[in-house]
Structures are given as structure tokens and as C-alpha cells.
Structure 1
Amino acid sequence: MDMSPPIHRWMKDDLDRSVFQKSVTVLAARIPARDTTTLLKSDALRRYIMDVPKIRSVVWDPSGTQGQRLVLLKVPTEAALSPEARILLTEHSAELVDHTIRLNYDYWTADDILQAILPEELLNGSPTGFSVTGHIAHLNLNKEYLPYKKIIGKVILDKNPAIKTVVNKIDNIDNKFRFFKMELLAGEPNFVVEHHESNCRFTFDFSKVYWNSRLHTEHDRLVQLFKPEDVVADVFAGVGPFAIPAARKGCAVLANDLNPDSACFLSTNIVKNNVADLVRASCEDGRDFIRDAIFNVLENPFPPYLGPKPSRLKEKKLRRDRQASERSSQDSVYPLESTLPPRKVVTRFVMNLPDSALDFLDAFRGVMVTRDRIGGELGRLYDAMPMIHCYCFTRELEPVKAEADIRLRVEAKIGHKIEEDVDLHLVRSVAPNKDMYCVSFRLPRPVAFAR
């Protein structure tokens, strides 16, 4: 039984949905409606009943005969039925008839339609896969499919009700802010999305900032390493995929991005996710941000971590109880900030710019002796140096060679070996000969206090 759509390889730009019509004739057993359940459950007939996706195996008799139904079969003739099946149908006064199934454009999947439209040499690897960000489907079409990009976009839009906009990544990348340029293939020219990840809401203009939904697992992996009392300096924060979830966990965060659009949406997301007391946004060069972060937190500390926040209802009750009894903070279930020292120490740096983050590592040399200080107070505060989580690419595909390559480049930039708490994590393959890694290591003390 051929349920595939009719072939129309003449289409290229305009999608004519009306030509996707097909009639398929199948064998059916006309039976009294009361016997339907018995036949469907019988061992003798069960294996002959039609089980095609989106096609009902039992339908009302289109001839209009009162109280009759058709059980659709997947065999072409009565002779293909077993003797037991034929006996069962006879016992229930079944009549074998032809039934016509009418299919249209709505029946077939996006891949079915594209298989009927694209040239035969392009059928392998039909581009129906895409990433979803909010209401936007984001494709990365190979050049051979570009002549058919508009029709591909229309089919994907049709077949995915939650998608309102379909875009394709253009090869060139913005050199300064590193976001992908894109073109509209189908749907609304609306690029401002609301995306949900890690129980957080992110609003941003997908055409002006960098976002990759495929990195959700990596965002979550790294944040899971953070302790709630940490102070995190996010050097290339984007719109907040690390900063916002970290703050929701309890971390204090300095979040920075050079792209003014990213910094703007980062500030919006900080407010939307109710973490304004824990995240400070900035828009400056990453190297300047690294050099200033240590002293910014020293001179303007974050409040201490007080444990998980109570629910709003419980928080209101605690506030009323304190006001009513004028109790001290020691008597409160949720202690006041004055009972714990403020957070003055940056414990982690996140550098999520894999194309060039390694080039910024030289900014850590002498990071604790800038501003005409000798670092005496910092030497006492930092009994443990901050962890650095730096993303990068390598063309070495073997893990041992990849680690050697990345270590060599890190140590060349900071001018010192990395030996403490070193970890190398493969994030994903981005090309046949290019992998993305996260290298984590503790900043060597001689580097931080280098003159």
C-alpha cells in the first residue's frame, strides 16, 4: 500500500498545496457496529487490521447503511486472509468491500513533502531538522539546498504549529559580537523571542544576539558545579544562560557582554527572573572586565548567601511576625543579612566565547595587583584562587591530543602551567574536524599576583 505523496519536482519557490491529493483503495470488512470490538480484539483478525499512522482503522460506512462500520484491512484481497480470519468474518456477517482513503497535504509530514519536491540527488539528508528558539525555527542549510530555501521554510512552517518564524543562518558571522546573521525564509518577521530554559525565562532578539539552544545541557552542567555561595564573574554573559540560572541557585554574579543588545536583554532577563539583587550587568570589553572584577567585588561586596529563599507567602508571614513582635534577626527563620559576612571574593570566572576566549586569558596576569595595590588584602582573602571555566575549539579529535593542544594554548597565554583542579570536558562536535571543549582549572597564584 503506497501512502507516499505524489511527486511534484517542478516546485522551487512557490508551494502549491492543492496538488498534494491522493486516493488509496483498501480492502475493508463491513460489519455491524456492535461487533466492532469483538473483531478488533480477536487473535484471528488482529494482524490483518490496518495500522497506518493518522489513518483510523475503523470508520463509519460511507454508503450510509444504518448501524454499519468498516474495519480497514492491510491485505489486498480476501485470499490473503487466513482461514481462521475468513471464518470469523463469516460468523459476524461481514462483507468485504473496497474503501477509498483520500489523502491531502495535511496528511503528510514535512519530510514526506520535501521528498516529493526536491530533486532526486538532494533527497538524502533532506533538511527537515532544525533548532527551536522560542517561536523561531533555525535552519543551517547546506549550499545545495539554498535554491529551495523558501519552499523548505514554508513546509516547515506548515508542519510545526508552534513555529511562527523560519530563518536560515547565513555563513558570515558578526566579527565583533559573534552572533549569526540570518535571513527570513517563512512566517512573521518577528525575531524577539521568549525562550524557557532551566526554569528561567529569556527574552532577546535572536537576530542581534548569540543563542544556541543545543547548549542547554552544557549550561546546566556547569551551573550544577556552582555552589550557592559562589561569586561568579561571567565574562561573555550574552543574555544570561549561565548568569540567570546561577543566580536562581543563590550565586552572586557579575555578568558582562560587549554587545549592547545582549547587555540590554541581559538586564531585562535579570528583572524578569527576580534576581536583580544577585546579578550586576555590564557592557564592556572582556579583558577590562576580568581586570576589574576582583576589585569590584572587594569594594562593593554582594550580600551573603542566606539559604533558599522562602516562598512569597512565607516571606510575608515572617515579615509580619517580625514587625508584630519586634524580634531580632536571630529569632527569624530566614536570618537577616547582617548575621553573615558579605561576599567579597570571586570564586569562578566563566568564559563562554569558544572562538576567542583563550586569547583573553592573559588578562589574569597580575589581576590581583592592579590599581596601585600590592594585593596584601587579597592575599589574605583568597586562600583558594578562583576557578576558570574557559570554552574553546580544537581540531584535535583524539582526547589525549585535544587535551595537550588546549593545555599548551592556555599555558602560553597565562605564562604558567595549570596543575590544580584541571578538567577537560568535551561539549560537542561542531564540524567534522572541530570540537568544542570547556577547560576548567584553578588560576595559579603566581599568575594572579604577577607584577
Structure 2
Amino acid sequence: MSLLSLFSSRFSLRQPQRLAALTVLRAMSSNSKLDFSTPIHRITPGALVDKDAYKKTVPILALKVEPSQTGYFLKNEAMRGAILDVPRYKSVVHSPDGRRLVLTRFDDKNDFPPPTQQFLEKEKAEIVNYNIELDYDYWTAEAILHASLPEELVDGAPVGFAKVGHIAHLNLNDEYLPYKHFIGQVILDKNSSGQEGLHTGIETVVNKLDSIDNQFRVFKMEVLAGPPNFAVMHRESNCSFFFDFSKVYWNSRLHHEHERLVETFKPEDVIADVFAGVGPFALPAARKKCGIFANDLNPISFNCLNLNARLNNVTQLVRASCLDGKEFIRTVILKALQDPLPPAQAVKFNKDLRRESKQRKQAQKKNVEGSQSEQGSPSGRNRITHFVMNLPASAVEFLDAFRGILSPDNVGGRDLSGIYDKANMPMIHCYTFTRELETEKAEVDIRQRVEEQLGAPIEEDISFHLVRSVAPNKEMYCISFRLPYGLAYGA
């Protein structure tokens, strides 16, 4: 089945939507001696979820009142602090006889504060017994795991996950693996679109099995809960991304880094994305009207990139390729010259077309000529302004490809000094890892490796950005610098 067919069959009816997750349930201290804690049910390795083990009855007192009197009892100053107040449980419920039950936080009349007792006696309130029935569906994922995992594993229980479309991606430590299917089912139950009050759209829970060690940066995974469906539609930076999570690289933890770098681009820029994947940098930049030459060695990523360009209405701005990174770097300069991208002001998205339609109607009413956007556009963009190299494990090793990329021998004998002069050399944004945890030492380490691979010093517009810590002794950085003029021309 083609990517387009798979996309159509998978997402023609609906797309799971991300909504805010519920806060972790905590028994309210104001509820006196009432016990709203989760029932303890310690599990053994390999155990599955037994929902019946989490049923609990909490007896309380309630005030039976007429519907018209409900607000009076709730808002009366004498009842302050006496009304039940726990997460996700209403303080007023219907009585079988048509009246209302105002729930209190007490199970003994003698525990009512004196002002409350006096008020209830004055109003001749009918006090009745009421049982709050709690079950598995009531408790949060954290509450269930804390009540179920062995006590030595409670601290650090894995309730967090990376969300990729409808998939919850876990990275369980070894000590939690004997309980992986239990954990996966709890995560699924508490984050599925069917969970009452919670609609994060999770349908499948997976666990990473090994490190990323292949040329396509894809890791093996196992399904812990839900169907083995890896074809996802993911939303990020106002863009839609469709891909098979088991066959391409995607890291939702880099969301803010994608936004940070794209924010530095100008609409008139042309970006060469060397390791583009399915487009997390390329497509948001294209939505900004940047011109994009995007490349990925993985043919599946390449196909998804093209599909995603169509999904996001940016095909006119994205030129995709499936090449080795060094070959892409060596050839993209000439490709930009031979196949220029349209100028930013000539690019028209749907919102632009709607605006122009409105402008034309207004112009017709005033008997004036059309807006400037209809009066032609300058020639296309043929100069690369930025290179993005998001392959932190080995991107530095590709930097030697920049040696002589602007020399006549590399661009068919052309003299590019009028296009790429010293003031207009491309910026390089290269991602890498370092074991140095101190900022100064990390920058020295990264700069040294970059200059060694380039074969020349970097001297202009140099900056370092700490992206994230990926392990206790490993951090990810982005180094940005301007491509040295002499190096690019082979001097």
C-alpha cells in the first residue's frame, strides 16, 4: 500500500486531538478522616491489570434537599469547609426521589463544626448516609502505578511519555521491564480518547528496545498495549506530519528546538536541510515562506517528506532529494542555481488567496487596479542562506564536504563570487553530542572537532545552544557559524 493510500485509509474519518491531561489526583487534606487513597494492590512480574482490585467505597453524610434549595445550602457561610471537595467528583448528585444530595466531607454528625450543626438544626436538614463508589476508572495513572508497583519502584514510576500522533512512546529502565505490559495498559487506559475527562488520543503504547545505531536513526520497539499501528498523523508547529513511526526517525522532545531555529529564519531565506527526515525543520520553515532544499537518505522518510509537503500546501517551496549527506552538500549549490525557488512574495497559501480575493473585491468597488501581489514578482531565489545538519551522532563528520563547494570545479565552471560574497556566506547549524558538561569545556570540545573536520578555523557569527541533556553524561548542542569564505572557494 502506498503512503498516500495508507494515509487516506487511516485518517479519512478522524484525527485524534491532543487535549490537556488531568492533574495527578491527591486526597484533599480538607476531607478530614475520609480515606480517598488508592487501594494498595502490589503486583508481581508479568501481572496484567485487574480493574476489580481498585474498587473502593467511601461512606459519607449527605444533605437531602429540594432542587430549589441546592444553591442555598452550597453557598451558605455556615457550610464553608463542610462540602465535599475532591477531584473529579461532584458535590451534588441526584436522589432517586427527585431531590438533591449535597455531599459533605464527614461521615459522622458529631464531626460537623458547631456553626454547621446549628445551621442544619435551624433548617431541619435531612441528613442521610451516602456511599461514594470509586473504581479503576477514577484513579490517575500515577495513583494506580504507585499503588501497584513494588514499593522499591514507586519513586520514579514511568507515567511520562513522548506522544507521537496516537502513540505513547516509553523508554523503560531495566527494573521496570518485568511490569512493562501492566505499565503500558495503565498508560493506555488513562490517556485514551475514551477515558472520561481525558482525550489525549493515545491508542498504542510502545517501548524502545535499543539505541539508535543504524544509518536511518530508527530504533526497534515493542508494543506494550493497543494495536501495532505505527502510521501516525502528528501535529507540530502548525504543521501536519504523516509517517510510520517504526520506519523513520522522529523525536518529539526536539519540538522547541525546531521552533527555535525556524524562528531565526527570514521568509526570503533558502534552507538546505541535509538530514531532513520527514520535515520537522523544513515544513515549518516552508510555512514561513522560506525556500527549502530538503534531503534524507532514508527513502521512506523521503516519500513522507514529499507527502507532508502536499499535506501542508508547500510543494512549491520544497525540493526533496534522497542522497547521502555529503553528496547533497556538494550538489545543492548548483541545484539552487539551476532550479531557483519562487520568491517569498510570490508564494500564495490559501490564506493569501482569500486575502487577495477580498482585496480584489474592495478594489473593484473603488475602481482601482489590483493589489501589488497581482502585479508580477522578481526572479526566483537561487542562493542558499542556511544549512541545517540535525544528525547529532555524526553530523560533524560531514563538514569536510563544504571544502570547495563554491569553487568553479564544483559548480560547472561558474564564478559565484557575485552571489556568495564574503558578506553573504551561508550559515551552518550543526547538531552534535558532547561528554563535556561544563559550558566552556563543551564549547571548546565542539569547536575543536568542527574545525578539525572543516580543515579551517571558524571566525564569524559563532554561537552555541544547549538543546537538551540526553543522558547523565551526554548533552546535545547546536553550533551555528558562518561558512568560511576561503574554505568554500577552495582557497
Partner of 1:87: 118
Cα RMSD for the two superposed structures:
2.4
Partner of 2:397: 359
Partner of 1:51: 85
The structural deviation recorded for 1:87 is 0.9
1:22 to 56, 68, 73: 56
1:90–1:307 Cα change, 3 Å? farther
Paired residues, what number? 441
SS state at 1:15 partner: coil
Partner of 1:4: 37
Contact 2:465–2:477 at 8 Å: present in 1 too?
Answer: yes
Partner of 1:442: 482
Partner of 2:330: 291
CA distance, structure 2, for counterparts of residue 84 and residue 437 of structure 1: 62
1:372–1:260 Cα change, 3 Å? closer
2:237 to 181, 198, 201: 198
Partner of 1:70: 101
CA distance, structure 1, for counterparts of residue 124 and residue 100 of structure 2: 12
**Residues 308-323 of structure 1: pairs in structure 2 closer than 5 A:** 309=348, 311-313=352-354
1:275–1:52 Cα change, 3 Å? same
Give the gaps of 5 or more residues in structure 2: 1-33, 193-200, 363-367
2:385 to 342, 347, 356: 347
CA distance, structure 2, for counterparts of residue 209 and residue 193 of structure 1: 11
Q: Which amino acid aligns with 1:358?
A: V
Partner of 1:416: 456
SS state at 1:86 partner: helix
Q: Percent identity?
A: 56
1:103 to 109, 113, 134: 134
2:164 to 133, 142, 146: 133
SS state at 1:55 partner: coil
Partner of 2:69: 35
The structural deviation recorded for 1:317 is 8.1
Say whether residues 1:368 and 2:406 are aligned partners: yes
SS state at 1:14 partner: coil
CA distance, structure 2, for counterparts of residue 413 and residue 336 of structure 1: 48
Q: Which amino acid aligns with 1:362?
A: D
Contact 1:31–1:92 at 8 Å: present in 2 too?
Answer: no
1:78–1:449 Cα change, 3 Å? same
2:283 to 244, 248, 268: 244
CA distance, structure 1, for counterparts of residue 223 and residue 333 of structure 2: 43
CA distance, structure 1, for counterparts of residue 159 and residue 370 of structure 2: 60
Contact 1:29–1:95 at 8 Å: present in 2 too?
Answer: yes
Partner of 2:268: 229
CA distance, structure 2, for counterparts of residue 368 and residue 376 of structure 1: 9
CA distance, structure 2, for counterparts of residue 172 and residue 112 of structure 1: 30
TM-score by length of 1: 0.92
Question: Deviations for 1:243-285, whole angstroms, at most 9, x for unmatched residues?
Answer: 1111111111110001111111011111111111111111110
CA distance, structure 2, for counterparts of residue 14 and residue 241 of structure 1: 37
Partner of 1:324: none
Q: Which amino acid aligns with 1:38?
A: Y
CA distance, structure 1, for counterparts of residue 382 and residue 116 of structure 2: 80
CA distance, structure 2, for counterparts of residue 40 and residue 359 of structure 1: 69
SS state at 2:477 partner: strand
1:409–1:335 Cα change, 3 Å? farther
Question: Deviations for 1:162-215, whole angstroms, at most 9, x for unmatched residues?
Answer: 111111111232411112221111111110101111111110000111111121
